[in-house]
Structure 1
Amino acid sequence: MSNDVAELKQYVLAHASAQHLAADEILARVATDGEGPGSWSAEWVRAGETYERDGNLLAAATHYNLARFPFVDGPARAEALRRCVAVFDRWRRGVPGIERLELELPGGRVRAWAAGLSRTERRPVLIMTGGIVSIKEQWAPVLPELARYGFAGVVAELPGVGENELRYEASSTALFGAMLDAVADRADTTRAYALALSFSGHLALRALPTEPRLRGIVGAGAPVSAFFTDKEWQASVPRLTVDTLAHLTRTTPETVFDHVRDWALTPDELAAVEVPVAYVASRRDEIIPPADPELLRRHLRDLRLITHDDVHGAPSHFAHTRLWTLSQVLHISAADRAHVDAVDQALAQVTGGRA
């Protein structure tokens, strides 16, 4: 089943913005989601090959990543993902400290990128995860920065995304504990935090009752409750989101919302959350209903919330979101005061002194 090209072009923009990528020229060449010249994967791969030949490996990996967007559904996107991981691996070998993790778990293998791990200087852990359409290579370039701020950073993927072979299901909350266990000998996993974007923010919230090592969550655009239960809202959710969610849960677009209906968080579950939560909402979000951040506002004990006048992913507010989420991670984790002040000053410059 091919994706709607107009939707692909619309929803890739937030990811292109997050990676400082000018996509217009490439998107203008895309006419189909099939194979060959003019197709989605072929045109992004073509651009990636140019960067790879020029030795710009990180840019090449970024373009190969978008060639496999939103998920691997056939040989062309599978090859794009393979190229993305391979080229990113070549790039990170020139960046001291980034290493590859592999976890063998019931249900499949999980791969991640990490930095700041040490047996002699065991740092608090920051786990960073994206949503249902973003792979770890999109976020992993921030690992050296996280290490500079005093964290052992781990960047991973939701089940079913990229190189995570697990099925996305109710029990997927165990992923956070598995990653912490994997680095426990080289990090202080008693102080762990999650920078969990989009759907992984929901997964992190659901993990809290069984994972006491998580001491705080920072998220953006995460579903909470109404996304999973409001049938009227679900009827308007973009096809790309529905198809991707069905792929990751190994269901069908017709049955996926019935499958995830009991994933909704309840007011009592939210009221029981004892750790700080920071959340970025978008006022015109076409995927996450406004009832979801409102539920967090009403029931979480310690919520830090900002709302952008934007669509899902807030592509027009990327710089603000990036600095605000980093600032919240530093505040929640009681990081070094000099780091906190430096990020807060940069945030103030972007926002004109607003939060």
Structure 2
Amino acid sequence: MPYKWSVSPEVIFPARYKQMVNFGLPARDVDEVRSVVTDMWLDGPGGWVHEWSKLGARYADDGNPTLAALAYGYAKFPVLADEARRTALRHQIEQYLLAAPSFPVDFERRVLDIPYQGSTTRVAVHIFSAPGLPLDAPVILASGGADGHKIDVHHMFMSFAQGTRARVVAFDIPGTGESEIAMIPESREVIDGLISFCRSLGNGRVVHFGLSMGGYFSAYSGLSGLVDAAVNCGGPVEAAFAPGRTWAEGAVGIIGNLFGFDQEPTPEEMQRQVGPHSLRPLLDRDDNCKMLVINGTADALVPVEDSLVFSGRRDTLVVMAEGETHCVVTKWDDTIALITGWLAREVA
């Protein structure tokens, strides 16, 4: 069961504001919610989930399920730590499916049974494809991160589907959204299963894109050579999991929940859990496929060393945006254009 921790909306809003706006919410509405939210966990007026859900309901009543889904996505933020947030997730999925017929691309939702630890785990995927795309097209496996899940960043996935000749399969990484399991080192097995599904879905060519913590998993598949190409946008790989590492105030509880703690861990407990995630064993090998690594040099969430460590690797392009923040969301349109162009070349 997810846990709650001491965190203030005064910390969250400055850190996430540009992401909220660049991912599709009108700035005036974000400002309106920001002006009335006083508490992250209060389930009532002034509470984070209450005020964001009110905005989502207003969008829904106005017949705009796309914006409703985005607002409910922030209502469930930062983790599904109470029934109100779990309800917001259900509303988000409902509104998103209502919006789907208006998408400029073909859309399908599937729930897969993916092999995991001798059994299976259910993984909901959203599949996007440009109209008329042949069945034997290549596939882009894609995810957001710890708090930007597949519905929250769906505009990005639609851009990939429109800008490449590939089918896009979006999922929530372990420990987030609709995932049934925590993010532990063994959860990488889910990525193996999703890659197998993607190879069977199209012509066998698979490119993996990961945003933020999702970049950890695309770095895993790219460094392992499990896919044909991979993009790691701002993902942690080694330095983020090093001894003594401290997480930003607005992220520490998100990370603790991501890794499966049911109460706030001590620094020692956190280190024991996160240390084994380091991808150093894969960095020491030379098995990687072609890779793109992109981030901002002013990232306050993930050490820039986790991007720079790819410099000089075979078949690897590292793009560091000077002075920009985590995943370069401050220049989101430029970031998406760069990534989409790279993906288009790799799936061709």
TM-score, length-scaled by structure 1: 0.85
Matched, 1:329 2:314: no
Deviations, residues 284-315 of structure 1 (Å, cap 9, x unaligned): 21111132222111445422323241222333
Matched, 1:253 2:265: yes
Which letter does structure 2 place at the counterpart of 1:6? E
CA distance in 1, matches of 2:49, 2:237: 32
Matched, 1:88 2:101: no
Matched, 1:4 2:8: yes
Gaps of at least 5 residues in structure 1 are 336-355
2:291 match: 277
Distance verdict in 2 for CA 1:279–1:101, change over 3 Å: same
Contact 2:234 2:327 in 1 (8 A): yes
2:301 match: 287
Q: How much does 1:230 deviate? A: 4.4
Within 5 Å, give how 1:73-112 maps onto structure 2: 73-95=81-103, 97-105=106-114, 106=116, 108-112=121-125
Match of 2:229 among 216, 220, 223: 216
CA distance in 2, matches of 1:240, 1:143: 26
Gaps of at least 5 residues in structure 2 are none
Structure of greater relative contact order (alpha carbons < 8 Å, 6+ residues apart):
2
TM-score, length-scaled by structure 2: 0.87
Contact 1:174 1:207 in 2 (8 A): no
Q: How much does 1:250 deviate? A: 1.1
Which letter does structure 1 place at the counterpart of 2:265? P
Aligned-partner SS, 2:300:
coil
Which letter does structure 2 place at the counterpart of 1:203? F
- Alpha-carbon RMSD across the aligned residues, in angstroms, is 2.3
CA distance in 1, matches of 2:8, 2:82: 16
Deviates more, 1:283-292 or 1:63-72: 283-292
Q: How much does 1:328 deviate? A: 1.5
Distance verdict in 2 for CA 1:268–1:166, change over 3 Å: closer
Aligned-partner SS, 2:11:
helix
Deviates more, 1:79-88 or 1:240-249: 240-249
2:253 match: 243
Deviates more, 1:264-273 or 1:286-295: 264-273
Matched, 1:72 2:80: yes
Aligned-partner SS, 1:194:
strand
1:342 match: none
Matched, 1:320 2:334: yes
2:187 match: 172
Contact 2:223 2:289 in 1 (8 A): no
Match of 1:63 among 64, 68, 71: 71
CA distance in 1, matches of 2:101, 2:282: 46
Q: How much does 1:58 deviate? A: 0.3
CA distance in 1, matches of 2:80, 2:70: 16
Which letter does structure 1 place at the counterpart of 2:248? P
CA distance in 1, matches of 2:92, 2:10: 24
2:144 match: 130
